Amino acid sequence: MATMHYPTASLKPHKNEVLQSGHLWIFSGALQQAPRWIEAGGLVDVKSATGQFVARGYYNPNTDIAIRILTRDSEEAIDSDFLRSRIRHAVQLRSVFDPQQTSAYRLINAEGDGLPGVIVDRFADILVMQIHTMGMELMRAQLIEALMQELDVKGILLRNDTQSRRREGLEVEEPVVVAGEVPSQVTILENGVTFLVDPWQGQKTGFFLDQRDKRAALRKYARGKRVLNCFSYTGGFSVYAALTSHETSVTSVDTSASAMALAHQVFTHNGLEPERYEFLIADVFDYLEDAQQRGEQFDIVVLDPPAFAKTQSAQAQALKAYRRLNLLGMQVMRPGGILLSCSCTGVVGLDDLLGILAQDAQRLNRAVQLLELYTHGVDHPINLAMPETSYLKAVFCRVN
């Protein structure tokens, strides 16, 4: 085998230990000697303070996370074969999905699939890709080629429109087709339910794939009940609930008019008449306050808000928002009702969320029973050495 030559970076004493646990980030403060003569995003070999090979990854001098690890095998070159093998490994995990039931899932979950800085979502026969780091940006062409080789898809849309790219010194771009063709709307199946996805303009990559298992879990509670879905987007939880029985009443609330318009279409595609359900373009906090004033009572309330904080410094503010939201949610619940409370804020942990629910319950003098806990689905694997990359918490409870 040809010997590989990559520029080297060396670590301060003991800084190699966390990498040996499988963690994939090296912060700039851990570097004894930064690599020299290398472009931002370039590949490097990481050596311990004593000069031993530790790992290989890519380097960016412009971010706190100076190096993201791609392999700990000194024999493994970072090339097309590497990308294809990581992709195959990821594809294998997703074989748990029966394509007759579920045709959309996260195919590559960045660090969780050993490919830091890139996510790829599959929507039937198209892929939507997002690149978050300079290192992956330099491998863009190889990555696209490898995806086209490993997967039978009609096209790839690159959605490099996330603001976080700026931290890496990357441009925020318009969505662009980088392989084949990508239509303006894609029809997908999720647990046998049909959804319409707008990969070009939809939020994130077009659909919140990380709620699949919670949507399915909601079904058993929803039959014939009065359901309120807050932050409903294109009607994910709403349509699952509505499909349980014609007797089920569903109210969907979201500020996005385009998401609500798509939600109407999604109902129709599933054989449900949108006129029989309530779709409200409104701020959830305002809606819940008004609903409480009117004395509205629901059997089931879903709270799936967007992230309330992106940084540790904004944590206190986020906790306050969750406290208020869950309090308002509980106030419109009939005794014995089911609350599904979610948080996708990374800096708010499961314990924080459970604590908030307990506090809110106490304030309202209501007893709450914890029923089920969820994180992301199986298509969002988390590297166990990097619990900080896990973000989603979802709690089903009964509010008496």
Tokens of 1: 């085998």
Is 344 a residue of the active site? yes
Region from 234-242, 263-271, 272-280, 377-385 binding ligand SAH, contact rule CB under 6 A: 234-242
- Does the protein bind ligand SAH through residue 199 (CB under 6 A)? no
Distance (Å, rounded) from C-alpha 324 to C-alpha 354?
14
Q: x/- site string to ligand SAH, residues 237 to 276, per CB under 6 A? A: x---------------xxxx--x-----------------
Enclosing H/E stretch for 197: strand 193-197
Tally: H helices and E strands in the chain? 10, 20
CB of 30 or CB of 318, closer to ligand SAH: 318
What binding mask, one character per residue, do residues 344-373 give for ligand SAH by CB under 6 A, x or -?
A: ------------------------------
Q: Are 390 and 382 in contact (CB under 8 A)?
A: yes
3-state secondary structure 268-300: HHCCCCHHHCEEEECCHHHHHHHHHHHCCCEEE
Q: Does 210 bind ligand SAH (CB under 6 A)?
A: no
Q: Looking at 23-31, 102-110, 226-234, 367-375, which segment touches ligand SAH (CB under 6 A)?
A: 226-234
How many other C-beta atoms can be found within 10 angstroms of the C-beta atom of residue 143?
Answer: 26
- Comparing CB distances to ligand SAH, the nearer of 60 and 234 is 234
CA dist 107 and 119 (Å) reads 8
What is the β-pairing status of strands 186-190 and 118-123? unpaired
Cβ neighbours of residue 290 closer than 8 Å, sequence gap 6 or more: none
How many chain residues touch ligand SAH (CB under 6 A)? 19
CA 104, distance to chain mean position in Å, is 13
162 lies in the binding site for ligand SAH (CB under 6 A)? no
Which is nearer to ligand SAH, 236 or 381 (by Cβ)? 236
211 binds ligand SAH (CB under 6 A): yes
> Given candidates 82, 97, 123, 231, which one binds ligand SAH under the rule CB under 6 A?
231
Nearest to 69 by CA among 13, 114, 118, 129: 114
Report how far residue 195's alpha carbon sits from residue 209's, in angstroms, rounded to the nearest whole number: 11
Closest contact distance (angstroms) between CB of 227 and ligand SAH is 13
Q: Return the number of the residue (216 or 350) whose C-beta is nearest ligand SAH.
A: 216
Of residues 239, 231, 237, 243, the one with CA closest to residue 212: 237
The residue from 230, 342, 344, 397 that is catalytic is 344
Residue 361's region, left for phi above 0, alpha for psi from -120 to 50, else beta, is: alpha
Looking at residues 279 to 318 of the shown chain, list those that interact with ligand SAH (rule: CB under 6 A).
283-285, 304, 306
CA 30 to chain centre: 29
Which H or E run contains 70? strand 65-71
In the block, tokens 């031993």 appear at 52
Beta carbon nearer to ligand SAH, 285 or 374: 285
Of 233, 298, 308, 396, which one interacts with ligand SAH (CB under 6 A)? Answer: 233
Is the CB of 59 or the CB of 231 nearer to ligand SAH? 231
Task: Tell whether residue 236 is a contact of ligand SAH (CB under 6 A).
Answer: yes
Q: Which is nearer to ligand SAH, 255 or 315 (CB)?
A: 255
Query: How near is the Cβ of 117 to ligand SAH at its closest, in Å?
Result: 23
Cα distances (Å, whole numbers) of residue 9 to 18, 67, 385? 16, 9, 22
Nearer residue to ligand SAH within complex by CB, 38 or 253: 253
Minimum CB distance to ligand SAH, residue 232 (Å) = 6
Nearest to ligand SAH by Cβ — which residue?
236
Applying CB under 6 A, which residues contact ligand SAH? Answer: 203, 208, 211, 231-234, 236-237, 253-256, 259, 283-285, 304, 306
* Catalytic residue IDs: 344
